[in-house]
Each structure stands twice: as C-alpha cells, then as structure tokens.
Amino acid sequence: MQTISVEALKEKIDSGEKINLVDVREPHEHADFNIGGILLPLGQVQTLNIDAIEDLKNEEVYIYCRSGNRSGQACMMLETAGFSKLINVSGGMLAWQNRIAK
C-alpha cells in the first residue's frame, strides 16, 4: 500500500487528472464533508460488499477516511480482495480540513 499527502492529492485533483476516490467513513461523516469519493463504509469493506468498486481492481484507487486509520485498514483488506494499486490518504479528512480547506 502506498500513501499520499492531502496536498499531493489536491494537486492531482486540481490538475484535472482522473482520480478514483473511495471514502470509507460512515454516511453521516460523508454528508458533513467529502471530496467527491464513492462512499463505501469500512463495514462494507470488511464484509467484502465491494461491488461498487469491483471494476477498479487494476486502477489506482485513493482511499480516505477521517484520519487515515480506517483507510489503512481498508487498503489492507482490499489488497487481499485483489486490488493492486491502493493509495492511502495520510491524515484523512482531518488533515484536508486543517491544511487545504482553511
């Protein structure tokens, strides 16, 4: 699993690069603040209920959560499910809000 800082991810988004974002937080967290990712709560990842992203197995997928912990867990689980290019967003949405969305 690779990692990326929120600043580097923001640069990719701003450059118009096609990015696959997956948010593994809970629906209420996603509703409060998100950066456009597909909502796939960690509980669904744990039970491998991952049909929403199945077609991304061979593409780069940026996984984020609140702080980077749940997304790290999700990356490990998705790797065992055959995903090969997972990137954990270090610091998650807390870092994004503190450094980017000021």
DSSP per position, 30-98? HHHS-SSPEE--HHHHHTT--GGGGGGTTS-EEEE-SSSHHHHHHHHHHHHTT---EEEETTHHHHHHH
pLDDT of residue 102: 64
- Parts of the chain with a pLDDT under 50: none
Judge contact between 40 and 65, C-beta under 8 A: no
Residue 75 bears catalytic tag: no
Closest C-alpha to 60, from 84, 38, 40: 84
Query: What is residue 27's DSSP assignment?
Result: H
Instruction: Write down the mean pLDDT value for the chain.
Output: 95
From the candidate CATH numbers 3.40.1710.10, 1.10.10.10, 3.40.50.150, 3.40.250.10, the one assigned to the domain spanning 2-99: 3.40.250.10
Q: What is the pTM of this model?
A: 0.95
State the catalytic residue, choosing from 42, 65, 77, 87: 65
